[in-house]
Structures are given as structure tokens and as C-alpha cells.
């Protein structure tokens, strides 16, 4: 019996992707071994690797100017690897601060140069409840890059329009909303995302970077930390996380089967409308702190009138087969992570529960 999984990450995966993995676990395509027992240099694994890249390229319409990389170390490694490559001594980079993950990215950049805070929506209570407006950005045209977090997993806000940063390369941590809708990749010098929300299991980190940006990376750092090393070797410089990439491939096949990213966007917007609708029709009971224009489609944060009710909500939802609803300790309350694998029906089941909960406790 599978539960309705609203975990923030690692998150639920589409059932067909898991079923395929189950069916092929002991014998991948009649080879007498699983995909994870194959050499990463053999043609069987190579087919999976290349298909994952090809599917992403097709789904996102990735232009020739950009390259897909599969790295390890999570988005947390990217917090360091981006400045390690591009923040040369004396240079500065602009960071747009919208949550806990932006703070972690900024902290790592401080090891390599002088990152600047070009905008922040941090409040006196240490929370972030919106993303900045274009007019609030104080951008340095000489910056090595501008870094933003496209979706703030903990506080539940999201950039719905990416800022205009002029000619400065734009770098985005898209860990928690990568692939939720069609995205113009050409606007970004580098995108990174841990796979474990929309894309697959943990263990692989997706990078999508402009080839000319990669080429600008420092050469006086260890090879393994240069993007160029992985770009030159099609992410096969060393042994990649083959099982994780295989599962990403399965998830991408599922996305394609669903109708690609336009279909996924429609599905995700429908889920968000359903869920925010349930919150907004009970404003005295459910309180969503994030400003409307910044509300995340992926992570929906709200509070009940008391912490006791928050806890009762989580416990009763769990008893009804819905897990992963407790808010992050920094934000409190409830967080519904409704990544791509969560279905509109799953969200309707939750909102029926929410309406019922108000009747019982409101
Ligand atoms: N950035 C964002 C936006 C995240 O949500 C997370 C994980 N929740 C991270 C970075 C860190 O990712 P990882 O655990 O892959 O290092």
C-alpha cells in the first residue's frame, strides 16, 4: 500500500518509474544483471546515460549552447563549486537572498571571494515571505554572476518571473522546482538541482550550463571540481551514480508520456489552485504567510491557529494515508510539497481532508 507522499525531498517518485526499476532490477534487458552492476563504460549503461541527456534536451528544448551534466555532491556541493569556478580572487558575485538555501549558497561563496547581497527579503523575524521585485535589486554590472534560488523549499516562495540581470551570467539553484514547467534555459549561465524532488532519487545533481560559461571556469583548482572536466567527459570522468541516473531516465520517460512540460505545468498549476483555494476559503483557520505573487507552486506553507492544531493536522492526515506534511523547523506549521509526482487527485484528497478538519476544529 503506497501512501500519498508530500515529503519535501527526497520526495515521491512516479509509480511507473519505480515499477520499471523493480521489473528490471535483477535482469536489465536480458543481460543477467541489474543496471547498477553494469560497467559505466559499457554500452548497456551508456544507452541509459545518453537517453537521460537526450530526454532532458528534448523536454526542455535545451539549445546547443548549453550542456547537461550529472554530478554528485548534491546542491550543497554546487554552493561551493560555483564560486570555486567563477569567483576569482578580487571578483564579486551578486546573491539574491530569499531563504535558507540562498544563505547557505552565500556562505560558501565567502570562501572564494567577495559575494555581495544584491537583494534580500529577510524580515526582522528571520523569515522570508516573498521574492524581491526587480526594482529592489542592486545589481553590480561587473559581478562574476548573479545567484538566485528559484524556489524556496522551506518558506514556500518562488520566482515566477526571473529578474533581468543584464549581461551578467545568471546562476540558479533550481533544486526544488526544476522541470515543473517549460523554462527558457538560454537565460541561464548555469542551473543546478539536486535530483531528489522533481527528477529522481538523491545521489545525482543535475547541471545545465552554457558551454562558454563552463570554459571561463578556473583551471587552477583540482580537476574534479572543474565543470570543464565533467563537460569534456560527458559526465563520465569517473564513475557516475548509475542507478540514480537510470531512475532519472525513467522519470523523464514518464514526463514525456504525460505530454511533456506544458502538460506538467498545467497539472502543477491545477494542484496549486486546488490547494491555495482550500487555504483561502478558510482564511480564519488556514493562514498562508507568503505574499500571493510569490506563492510557490511546489511547496505550500500554511499555519493553523495553534501549534497544537498543526500537530493534530499532521497526525490525522497521517492516519488518513497522507505523510510528509510537517513544516520545516525554521518555518513551522504545515508544508505540502507537491512535486511533479504528486497527482491532482492526491491534492484533492488533501483538500477534502482540510475542509473536514476545519469543520471539526474551526
Ligand atoms: N537548495 C534547495 C532549494 C533545496 O531545497 C535543497 C534541499 N532541500 C538544497 C539546496 C540542498 O540540496 P542537497 O541536499 O542536494 O545538497
Q: What is the dihedral of CA 315, 318, 323, 329, to 10 degrees?
A: 0
If you average pLDDT over residues 296-320, what whole number do you get?
Answer: 98
Q: 28 CA to middle of ligand 1, Å?
A: 31
- Alpha-carbon gap, residue 162 to 139, rounded angstroms: 14
What does the DSSP 8-state code read for residue 199? T
pLDDT at 60: 98
pLDDT band at 115 (very low <50, low <70, confident <90, very high): very high
* pLDDT tens by residue, 70-93: 999 999 999 999 999 999 988 999
Predicted-complex ipTM score: 0.99
Return the C-alpha cell found at 2.
503506497
List the domains of the chain with CATH numbers: 15-257 (3.40.640.10), 261-361 (3.90.1150.10)
74 lines ligand 1 (CB under 6 A): yes
pLDDT at 113: 87
Burial letters 169-194, b for 16+ CB under 10 A, else e: bbbbbbbbbbbbbebebeebbbbbbb
Burial of 258 (0-12, 13-18, 19+ CB in 10 A): middle
- Alpha-carbon gap, residue 173 to 152, rounded angstroms: 10
> Cell numbers 520499471 correspond to what residue?
20
* pLDDT tens by residue, 162-199: 999 999 999 999 999 999 999 999 999 999 999 999 99
pLDDT averaged over every residue in the chain = 97
What number does the ligand 1 atom closest to the CA of 153 have?
5
Q: Whose CA is nearest to atom 4 of ligand 1?
A: 175
pLDDT at 90: 87
Q: Is the pTM of this model over 0.90?
A: yes
Which has the closest alpha carbon to 146: 105, 99, 111?
Answer: 105
pLDDT at 267: 98
Q: 123 CA to middle of ligand 1, Å?
A: 22
> Is the pLDDT at 216 greater than 90, yes or no?
yes
What does the DSSP 8-state code read for residue 341? T
**In this structure, which long-range contacts are made by residues 223-231, counting pairs with CB atoms below 8 Å and at least 24 apart in sequence?**
225/81, 225/84, 225/85, 226/85, 227/69, 227/81, 227/85, 227/190, 230/69, 230/71, 231/67, 231/69
pLDDT at 23: 98
- Alpha-carbon gap, residue 317 to 320, rounded angstroms: 5
- Alpha-carbon gap, residue 119 to 130, rounded angstroms: 12
Q: For residue 70, give the 3-state DSSP assignment.
A: strand
Peptide bond into 232 cis (omega under 30): no
Whether 211 is catalytic: no
* pLDDT tens by residue, 6-55: 999 999 999 999 999 999 999 999 999 999 999 999 999 999 999 999 99
Which has the closest alpha carbon to 312: 278, 347, 361, 351?
Answer: 361
327, 299 Cβ separation under 8 angstroms: no
Check 94, 159, 173, 180 and give the catalytic one.
Answer: 173
Q: What percent of the chain is modeled with pLDDT above 70?
A: 100
If you average pLDDT over residues 320-331, what whole number do you get?
Answer: 96
pLDDT at 362: 83
**In this structure, which long-range contacts are made by residues 53-61, counting pairs with CB atoms below 8 Å and at least 24 apart in sequence?**
53/234, 55/249, 55/252, 55/253, 55/255, 55/256, 56/206, 56/208, 56/252, 58/256, 59/179, 59/252, 59/255, 59/256, 59/260, 59/261, 60/179, 60/182, 60/183, 60/185, 60/208, 60/261, 61/182, 61/185
What number does the ligand 1 atom closest to the CA of 150 have?
3
Whether 173 is catalytic: yes
If you average pLDDT over residues 306-320, what whole number do you get?
Answer: 98
pLDDT band at 229 (very low <50, low <70, confident <90, very high): very high
- Alpha-carbon gap, residue 338 to 194, rounded angstroms: 16
- In the chain, the largest separation of any two C-alpha atoms, in whole Å, equals 63
H/E run at residue 209: strand 205-210
- Alpha-carbon gap, residue 248 to 203, rounded angstroms: 11
101 lines ligand 1 (CB under 6 A): yes
Beta bridge partners of 230: none
Which has the closest alpha carbon to 48: 258, 250, 254, 257?
Answer: 250
What number does the ligand 1 atom closest to the CA of 78 have?
16
pLDDT at 89: 85
153 lines ligand 1 (CB under 6 A): yes
pLDDT band at 235 (very low <50, low <70, confident <90, very high): very high
Which has the closest alpha carbon to 194: 84, 88, 81, 272?
Answer: 81
Q: 244 CA to middle of ligand 1, Å?
A: 16
138 labelled ligand-binding = no
Q: 33 CA to middle of ligand 1, Å?
A: 32
Whether 23 is catalytic: no
Return the C-alpha cell found at 135.
526594482
234 labelled ligand-binding = no
Q: Which of 76, 180, 207 to mutate to test the pocket of ligand 1 (most atoms within 8 A of CB)?
A: 76
pLDDT at 20: 98
Amino acid at each position: 500500500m503506497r501512501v500519498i507522499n508530500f515529503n519535501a525531498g527526497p520526495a515521491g517518485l512516479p509509480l511507473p518509474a519505480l515499477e520499471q526499476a523493480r521489473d528490471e532490477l535483477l535482469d536489465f534487458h536480458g543481460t543477467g544483471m541489474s543496471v547498477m552492476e553494469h560497467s559505466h563504460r559499457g554500452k548497456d549503461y551508456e544507452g541509459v546515460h545518453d537517453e537521460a541527456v537526450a530526454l532532458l534536451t528534448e523536454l526542455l528544448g535545451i539549445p546547443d549552447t548549453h550542456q547537461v551534466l550529472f554530478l554528485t555532491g548534491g546542491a550543497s556541493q554546487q554552493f561551493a563549486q560555483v564560486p570555486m569556478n567563477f569567483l576569482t580572487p578580487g571578483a564579486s558575485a551578486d546573491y539574491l537572498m530569499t531563504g535558507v538555501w540562498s544563505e547557505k549558497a552565500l556562505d560558501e561563496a565567502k570562501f572564494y571571494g567577495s559575494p555581495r547581497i544584491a537583494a534580500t527579503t529577510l524580515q526582522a523575524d528571520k523569515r522570508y515571505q516573498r521574492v524581491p521585485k526587480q526594482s529592489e535589486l542592486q545589481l553590480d554590472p561587473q559581478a562574476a554572476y548573479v545567484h538566485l534560488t528559484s524556489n524556496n523549499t522551506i518558506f514556500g516562495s518562488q520566482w515566477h518571473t526571473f529578474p533581468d540581470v543584464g549581461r551578467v551570467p545568471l546562476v540558479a539553484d533550481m533544486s526544488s522546482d526544476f522541470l515543473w514547467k517549460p523554462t527558457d534555459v538560454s537565460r541561464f549561465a548555469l542551473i543546478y538541482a539536486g535530483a531528489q524532488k522533481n527528477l529522481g532519487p538523491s545521489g545525482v545533481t543535475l547541471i545545465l550550463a552554457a558551454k562558454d560559461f563552463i570554459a571561463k571556469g578556473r583551471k587552477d583548482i583540482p580537476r574534479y571540481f572543474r565543470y570543464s572536466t565533467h563537460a569534456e567527459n560527458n559526465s563520465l570522468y569517473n564513475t557516475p551514480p548509475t542507478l540514480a541516473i537510470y531512475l532519472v531516465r525513467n522519470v523523464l520517460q514518464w514526463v514525456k508520456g504525460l505530454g511533456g512540460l506544458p502538460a506538467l505545468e498545467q497539472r502543477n498549476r491545477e494542484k496549486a489552485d486546488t490547494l491555495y483555494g482550500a487555504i483561502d476559503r478558510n482564511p480564519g483557520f488556514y493562514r498562508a504567510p507568503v505574499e500571493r505573487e510569490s506563492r510557490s507552486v511546489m511547496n505550500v506553507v500554511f499555519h493553523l491557529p495553534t501549534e497544537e492544531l498543526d500537530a493534530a493536522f499532521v497526525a490525522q492526515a497521517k492516519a488518513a494515508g497522507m505523510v510528509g506534511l510537517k513544516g520545516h523547523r525554521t518555518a513551522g506549521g504545515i508544508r505540502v510539497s507537491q512535486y511533479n509526482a504528486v497527482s491532482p487527485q492526491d491534492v484533492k484528497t488533501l483538500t477534502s481532508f482540510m475542509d473536514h478538519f476545519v469543520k471539526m476544529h474551526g
